[in-house]
Amino acid sequence: MPTNKLITLAEAVRRYTWDGMQYASGAALPVGSDAIAFGRELLRQRRRELHAIFHANTQQLNLLAAAGAVTQAECGFSGLEGFGFANGLRRAIEQGRLVLEDFSNLAMTLRLLGGALNWPFVPATVNIGSDLQHRRAFEPALYPNPNKIPSVTDPFSGKEIGAFAPLRPDLAAIHVTLADPEGNAIMLGTEWSRFELSRAAKRVVLLADALVHTDCMRQYPNLVRIPGIIVDAVVYWPFAAWPQASPGMYDVDEAHMKAMNLALGSDDGTAAYLRGYVESYADLDGYLDLIGRERIAELSSGPSAFLVDPYRRWLLPHAEAPALTTAGSA
């Protein structure tokens, strides 16, 4: 029998998160898809002392760091590209509230792959011979540090290579474009390491911009990169990546990206942002009202909207989501 895995966002955070856990998200570059709404709910439920794992920094890690929810982080890229330095993340590091361990983008993907395949370590040649290998933020006094990426000998060539620790986070909150109630998901746009992350994490919660009938997944089985068998829960949450983009669904909200990063650059600004954009809504419709219905329509009519055209016949109406979610939570 098909299993309805739809639950509310609040229930997903209550059920699958706790203080001090290893939490993973971060699907793409700072303008790309990420489950930012899940990070907002982590703050609403006062989660603290998180160990964050992000392939690339997004506004979610920037926000969590600014709010003091993260004390340790591992990341492959920590800026916001055209939107400047990540002010919240930088302030947390400079003030000693957060320790950031740095790896290259490829190293983060390989470590997630190692976790997915249950390897004891990941043999690779990336980062070798640089300070990415020799400096360990979690052990700053030891340099060169032999513990971050130890050297091992390739038994076939005799060459020295690096041994990376695999990543197996307690939970991955993964943003997807389309999901059915059973947890099968399609991601449009750049996938980054969401495939590997979904297999490496001990638990997986999907945040979907749209719900579709399972017939959609049967029609395009080759695009179902995350199957329901590895998913614990599905949350229907349109604009889950806002103010970042979800290709096919909505463009990046450049004005809010800039305003958000500016706000996270100070304690007062962070407090005001939390009041205005984290604590101020009661439910999904309140969240969408906060973004603004006219703004939603504008962001949803961008040049990538055609990407969803092949799947529109299977899209479930917004009005049906509450009943499905109630049934899934029962």
Give the mean model confidence (pLDDT) for residues 75-80: 88
Q: Are 73 and 98 in contact (CB under 8 A)?
A: yes
Inside any domain, residue 254: yes
pLDDT band at 238 (very low <50, low <70, confident <90, very high): very high
pLDDT given at position 81: 84
Query: Higher pLDDT residue, 32 or 164?
Result: 164
Give the mean model confidence (pLDDT) for residues 83-108: 96
pLDDT band at 56 (very low <50, low <70, confident <90, very high): confident
Tell whether the model's pLDDT for residue 82 goes beyond 90.
no
Kindly report the CATH number assigned to the domain that includes residue 218: 3.40.1080.10
Residues 310 and 261 in one domain: yes
Residues 34 and 72 in one domain: yes
Residues 266 and 202 in one domain: yes
Q: Where are the beta strands (DSSP E) in 118-203?
A: 122-124, 151-153, 160-164, 171-179, 185-186
pLDDT given at position 27: 65
Q: Are 45 and 19 in contact (CB under 8 A)?
A: no
Count the domains in the chain.
2
In 150-305, alpha helices (H): 194-200, 214-219, 254-263, 267-277, 284-291, 293-299
Q: Residue type at 138?
A: F
Residues 151 and 63 in one domain: no
Record the pTM. 0.96
Length of the chain: 330
The share of the chain scoring above pLDDT 90, in percent, equals 89
Inside any domain, residue 4: no
Using DSSP's 3-state secondary structure scheme, residue 100 falls into strand
Kindly provide the b/e burial profile for residues 159-189, where b requires at least 16 CB atoms within 10 angstroms of the residue's own CB.
Answer: eebbebbbbbbbbbbbbbbbbbbbbbbbbbb
Question: What token pair was written down for 108?
Answer: 């983060």
Residues 59 and 142 in one domain: no
Tell whether the model's pLDDT for residue 129 goes beyond 70.
yes
pLDDT given at position 323: 87
Give the mean model confidence (pLDDT) for residues 114-128: 97
pLDDT in tens, 189-224: 988 899 999 999 999 999 999 999 999 999 999 999
Angle, vertex CA 204, rays to CA 202 and CA 206, nearest 5: 170
pLDDT given at position 26: 72
The share of the chain scoring above pLDDT 70, in percent, equals 97
Q: Which residues pair with 174 in a beta bridge?
A: 206
pLDDT in tens, 244-297: 999 999 999 999 999 999 999 999 999 999 999 999 999 999 999 999 999 999
pLDDT given at position 328: 65
Residues 52 and 183 in one domain: yes
Q: Which domain holds residue 300?
A: 9-102+168-329
